[in-house]
């Protein structure tokens, strides 16, 4: 496994396993399979609703806690200092751990500075080994990196061959914030796995287009967290340390950049409204559930 040293000296595996959109009924088995394959970075989030299953898998694996790099993320409805702090402690309870290796703010909306102050205090108390952000566009990354007490160690953002984030990478390097790619394959959109350029490169090394993409991320210095529910695919994704792309290969892939998201833009006002609506709906449901408990 290849590791990267974060800006606070903590070492983070560069290849991990993400559990986004993995149903609760499958998650425990999938994480156990990933750990069996050799993954030691596991990435979850409050909004994935599978933290408990991740925690169960880690406990059942028998792997010493210190060998696993565990990440979770705080969702928007838990922003603000008090809510964020309480939610992180609840995540730790669900995950059955007494510390997190990395905790991120999931989205750049609402009172993220208040939430980040909670992460800073939890970091200083030793409950989190590294803190960071997710989906923060460059301007907001520079903002929080400049004014927060503790600079973010990681920013997890959409990055793949059709949205390479070259300018963002330069700014992250300038501020010492490690880029981590979610949707490193762009979820296969735009015929990603069928691109002839990737097939030609892969055939040269006896690798699949997916393996070429992961190797490309790693050689750019970007942490990746591919997801699969099939152990055979997990093994393929893990088997990317036995070949090296040439400069010409890297240039070929660089030419595939469309410089646009395959999903949505966080700077689109209509998308911000969508997030606001979702948070209000979920908060309303939670309040209703709390009232039922009181009865």
Q: What residues are labeled active site? A: 48
Determine whether 206 is exposed, middle or buried from the number of CB atoms within 10 Å of its CB (0-12, 13-18, 19+). exposed
- The alpha carbon of residue 225 and the mean position of all alpha carbons in its chain are separated, in whole angstroms, by 6
- The torsion angles phi and psi of 163, rounded to 5 degrees, stand at -145, 80
Distance CA 131, CA 74 (A): 11
Distance CA 46, CA 90 (A): 10
Do 72 and 91 form a contact (C-beta atoms < 8 A)? yes
Q: What is the dihedral of CA 283, 287, 292, 295, to 10 degrees?
A: 170
Tell me how long the chain is: 295
Q: Side-chain half-sphere of 112: how many Cα atoms within 13 Å?
A: 25
């Amino acid at each position: 496994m290849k590791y990267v040293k974060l800006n606070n000296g903590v070492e983070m595996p560069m290849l991990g396993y993400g559990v986004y959109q993995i149903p609760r009924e499958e998650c425990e088995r999938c994480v156990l399979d990933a750990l069996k394959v050799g993954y030691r970075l596991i990435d979850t989030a409050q909004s994935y609703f599978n933290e408990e299953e991740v925690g169960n898998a880690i406990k059942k694996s028998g792997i010493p806690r210190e060998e696993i790099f565990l990440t979770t993320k705080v969702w928007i409805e838990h922003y603000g200092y008090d809510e964020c702090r309480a939610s992180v402690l609840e995540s730790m309870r669900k995950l059955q751990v007494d510390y997190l290796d990395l905790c991120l703010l999931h989205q750049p909306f609402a009172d993220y500075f208040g939430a980040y102050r909670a992460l800073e205090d939890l970091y200083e108390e030793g409950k989190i080994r590294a803190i960071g952000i997710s989906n923060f566009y460059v301007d907001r990354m520079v903002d929080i990196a400049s004014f927060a007490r503790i600079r973010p160690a990681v920013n997890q953002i959409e990055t793949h061959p059709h949205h390479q984030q070259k300018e963002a990478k330069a700014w992250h390097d300038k501020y010492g914030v490690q880029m981590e790619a979610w949707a490193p394959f762009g979820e296969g959109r735009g015929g990603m796995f069928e691109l002839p350029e990737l097939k030609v490169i892969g055939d040269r090394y006896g690798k699949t287009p997916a393996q070429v993409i992961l190797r490309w991320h790693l050689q750019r210095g970007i942490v990746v967290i591919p997801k699969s529910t099939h152990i055979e695919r997990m093994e393929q994704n893990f088997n990317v340390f036995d070949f090296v792309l040439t400069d010409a290969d890297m240039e070929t892939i660089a030419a595939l950049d469309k410089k646009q998201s395959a999903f949505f833009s966080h700077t689109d006002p209509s998308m911000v409204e969508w997030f606001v609506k979702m948070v209000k709906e979920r908060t309303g449901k939670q309040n209703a559930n709390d009232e039922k408990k009181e009865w």
